[in-house]
Every structure is written in structure tokens, then in C-alpha cells.
A and B are shown apart, each in its own frame.
Chain A
Amino acid sequence: MLMLAFDGLLVLALLWSAWRCLASTDLSRAVVMFIVFGLLMALAWARLDAPDIALAEAAIGAGLTGALLLDALGALRSRREGRDAPRETP
């Protein structure tokens, strides 16, 4: 019973974090929500008796993908700000 409640909560948290990741207006917040989603996925794998996938998901899905996304976000932002900057200065 307790585990079923935990599963239900985890599933809701998964869906909610995925929704927040895709619906948030702020892109850096979306990336952070994606990292949260990855960590919740690792929990879900552990609940599905798949510790191998849980290990890989925690290291790759949350860690490495998060680093990649944050780095790309910085690159896409910095260039745009650099291009917009001259227009803003009088």
C-alpha cells in the first residue's frame, strides 16, 4: 500500500516535472526542470527493479545531459546578447 502510494506520487512528479520543463517560459528554468526530471527517472528505474538503468540515468540523463544543455544554453544566449547589445546602447 505504502509502495503504491509512493509509485503514484513518483508518477505524478514525473509528469509534473516534464510538463514544467516543456511549458516554462524561462529556458534556464526548463533545463533545471529537465535535470529534476532525470533524477526522478532514476528513482523510477530503481522502483522498476532496474538498478543498471538507474545508475546510467543518474550519471547520464541528469548529469551529462544537464551539463550539455546548460553549456548549449550559455552559447546560444551569449551570442544573442552580444548581437543585441550594440542596438541597446545609444
Chain B
Amino acid sequence: MNRFTRGLAVAVGVALAATLVAALLELPAAAVYLPGAVAQHLAQSGVEHPVTAVLLNFRGWDTLLEVAVLLLALLTLLTLRGSEAPVAEVEAEPLLQGLARKALPLIILMAGYLFWAGAYRPGGAFQAGAVLAAGAVLLHLAGLLPAWAVPGRLLRLGLILGFLVFLAVAAGLLGQGALLQYPPALAGNLILLIEAGLTLSLGLVLAGLFLFVTGRQA
């Protein structure tokens, strides 16, 4: 890339930013007050935390598709990597291993707490899954968990379980009229069921994004 195109890119970027800033400052107030609408329907959503209500009830199909996108990314990654077994085994460091062993129960406890707290306060399947995945990465870096080769039957099931549970609930509720419209009486339990599946699967998928790839040449 020569100096001219580089300068052009910077100039266009600055112009874009200036336009955006001007637009942001002139923007009229929103016509629809979404926080009010969420608060109004929160009682029927089955959970008490508004973000979880939006994520798994009001806009549940967004989340359903997002989980599908995650699986798709993982599948593509699995087809990309070379077929040979992982080469580099991580050297075991006693101090790190001790720390990882001590931290693991706390990490699992924290993931469980986040999963359960999602219904009432900040937390939920996404954060819990991320913490689980971080725990798996920590275990790998400490040399306690080898990189994943070809996923076996159990791991495959774990990877797609959350998506399958979500899809089954969506299919079961098709009679309700709209996609993923829970009956208010069941909403809390259904969301808990979906979140349980999602916590496990998101943890495995996010860990897989690292563990299926690391230690390989390609």
C-alpha cells in the first residue's frame, strides 16, 4: 500500500468520523422508549433482570441465531485446521498447576453462581459460559488439560446441547403464535432450562475456539 492510498484511507476515515459525530450530536430523542416497554413487560417475562429478559424472552430468536453462528464458526474452524494431532504439549509448571488446581473449584462455583444469578441480577449463561471457557484455557496453559483433537461423541453432544435445547423449546412453542413466545406461567422454568444448556455449550464452544486450534501447525 503506497503513501497515497494510505493518506486517502486516513482522510476518508476522519471525514467519516466527523460526519458521525455531527449526526450523533444532532440526533433527536428516540421516538420509542424501550426501557419503559421492557419494564412494563418484565413481570410476564419469567425473570427479574431486564437484560436477561431481553436476551432470552423478548428477543430470544436473536440469541438462538447467535448460538447457531457460534457453532458455525467452530465448525468452520474445525475444517480449517490440519488433520494431524496437536504437536506441542504444554510444559507442566508446578506453581501454575497448583494454582490452577486451587482455582478450578472456584471457577466452577463462580460459573454456577453467574448462571443462577442471571434471573435476578447481572449474570447469565453468556458470562457463566465465558468463565467456564476461561477455566478450560487456564487448565490447558497449566498443562492439566490437553488440546482437543477430533471431538468424540460426548463432546459433540455437549457442543450442540444448548442449541438443541433452545431449538426444541422454540419448536415446542410454535403453537403460541410468535417464535419463542413463552406462556408466562412457564417462562421462568423454560428460560432456566435454556440457560443451563447454553452455559454448558457456550463454555465448551468458547473453550473449543481455543483448544481445537492451539498447539497445531495449521
B131 CB contacts on chain A under 8 angstroms: 59
A60 CB contacts on chain B under 8 angstroms: 130, 206
Which listed segment binds A: B37-45, B161-169, B190-198, B209-217? Answer: B209-217
Given contacts A59-B131, A75-B216, contact A64 B123 (CB under 8 A): no
Question: How long is the Cα–Cα vector from A56 to B52 in the complex, in angstroms?
Answer: 13
How many A-B pairs fall under 8 Å by CB?
A: 43
B210 touches A67 (CB 8 A): yes
The A interface, classified by DSSP as helix, strand, loop or mixed, is helix
B127 touches A55 (CB 8 A): yes
Mark each residue of chain A from 51 to 90: 1 if its CB lies under 8 Å from any CB of chain B, else 0: 1100110011001100110010001000100000000000
Number of interface residues of B (CB under 8 A): 20
A79 CB contacts on chain B under 8 angstroms: 217
- Chain B, range 89-124, C-beta contacts under 8 Å to A: 114, 122-124
Interface size classification for chain A: 10 to 19
Give the Cβ gap from B110 to chain A, nearest Cβ, in Å: 10
A64 touches B137 (CB 8 A): yes
Q: Which B-chain residue is minimally distant from A55 (CB atoms)?
A: B127
Give the Cβ gap from B123 to chain A, nearest Cβ, in Å: 7
Q: Which A-chain residue is minimally distant from B214 (CB atoms)?
A: A71
Contact of B182 with A by CB under 8 A: no
B127 CB contacts on chain A under 8 angstroms: 52, 55-56, 59
